[in-house]
Amino acid sequence: MEFTNFTTLVREEVERRTGDNYRVRLNDVRKNNGVVLRGLTVMQDDSNISPTIYLNNYYEEYAEGRATFVNVVNDVMDTYYRNKVNQSVDMRCFLNYESVKRRVVYKLVNTEKNRELLEDVPHIEFLDLSIVFQCMIAQEELGTASILIHNVHMKLWDVSVEALYQAAKENTQRLLKYEIKSMTDVLYEIINEEEGEEYDYDKCMAECSNSVPMYVLSNKNRVEGAACILYPDLIRDFAEAIGSSYYIIPSSVHEVLLLPAEHEEESAEIKSMIREINDTQVSREEILSYSLYFYDREEGKIIRL
């Protein structure tokens, strides 16, 4: 079955199951790095917000024989009911900048891979990346639900890119607090999740004792946490804490790896590792960059190697 027919049939079956009080729609959604995904939304008549369920991976599973059509629809319905929002959001506040000013935050995207998007959104270039802005909505009830700020919003509010940046510079650190963990602690968490039982921490430490010390930096939500490298105090204070300059490895849009420079790894070797991981381990829409960055402790700034 061809992809468009598949998604149409999924929409029709979900519409049949949900009934007359629901609106079921298909939308093509432009994601990071120019990736376009087919999304399905299910909205109750008394609500104006709904999670988007992307159907591309479902189609792959169906086409490869790993899931039947009924399996797909059942999972879509289950995903919807687990994530449905039983409320509406008053979007009128979005018309007034003063109402949203304290909820403007930033994230990082790759400049070259998002040229088309950047024509339509306010942004500030940073190395080979761009800082773009979002407005977080109803964080307490909806987690990290957000709206990407476009040029039309900036004109409506009559604010400058610099004003957005100054607001986001303060808000992002306040609303999306950072978290730095050693790679050992991250591996320990992963092993526990995979094993389904608590793994011996001392054993994990012993197994990692000969490895190069590396740290994972993200926000506590672990969503679009690579932007934490823009937190000036954090970047400087980490260098002071480890007593050296360090490499910044763009693991994905969600996190970066910090590697103390005293270990003298060849940058070409690290760049090769970044390319291999991006090409084999990271989904296309989650790639941040193929570049290697370096925080120079003496200069107090990040440079691209």
**Residues 268-286: what's their mean pLDDT?**
93
Q: pLDDT: is 140 or 108 the higher one?
A: 108
Q: Which range is least confidently modeled, 27-41, 58-72, 74-88, 219-233?
A: 74-88
**Residues 226-243: what's their mean pLDDT?**
94
Write down the pLDDT at residue 202. 56
Write down the pLDDT at residue 29. 92
213 exposure class (CB count in 10 Å sphere: 0-12, 13-18, 19+): middle
Asked if pLDDT for residue 198 goes beyond 60, the answer is no
Distance CA 265, CA 250 (A): 16
Asked if pLDDT for residue 133 goes beyond 80, the answer is yes
Distance CA 200, CA 302 (A): 37
Write down the pLDDT at residue 230. 97
Asked if pLDDT for residue 253 goes beyond 60, the answer is yes
**Whose CA is closest to 215, among 253, 193, 248, 244?**
248
Write down the pLDDT at residue 117. 94
Asked if pLDDT for residue 137 goes beyond 70, the answer is yes
Computed on alpha carbons and rounded to an integer, the radius of gyration of the chain in Å comes to: 22
**DSSP states of the chain:** --HHHHHHHHHHHHHHHH-TTEEEEEEEEE-GGG-EEEEEEEEETT-S---EEE-HHHHHHHHTTSS-HHHHHHHHHHHHHHH---S---GGGGG-HHHHGGGEEEEEEETGGGHHHHTTS-EEEETTEEEEEEEE--HHHHTT-EEE--HHHHHHHT--HHHHHHHHHHHHHHHS-EEEEEHHHHHHHHHHHHHSS---HHHHHHHTTTSPP-EEEEETT-SSGGGGGG-HHHHHHHHHHHTS-EEEEEEETTEEEEEEGGG---HHHHHHHHHHHHHHTS-GGG---S--EEEETTTTEEEE-
Asked if pLDDT for residue 13 goes beyond 90, the answer is yes
Angle between the N-to-C axes of helices 56-63 and 3-18, in degrees from 0 to 180, rounded to the nearest 10: 110
Asked if pLDDT for residue 250 goes beyond 70, the answer is yes
Write down the pLDDT at residue 242. 92
Asked if pLDDT for residue 204 goes beyond 50, the answer is no
Q: Confidence band (pLDDT; 50, 70, 90) for 109? A: very high
- Write phi, then psi, for 77 (nearest 5 degrees): -65, -45
The model carries a pTM of 0.84
Mean model confidence pLDDT for the chain = 88
Asked if pLDDT for residue 143 goes beyond 60, the answer is no
Write down the pLDDT at residue 184. 74
Asked if pLDDT for residue 131 goes beyond 80, the answer is yes
**Structure tokens, 118:** 């950047």
Which tens digit of pLDDT belongs to each residue from 147-196?
Answer: 899 999 999 999 999 999 999 999 999 999 999 998 777 665 655 555 55
Asked if pLDDT for residue 141 goes beyond 60, the answer is no
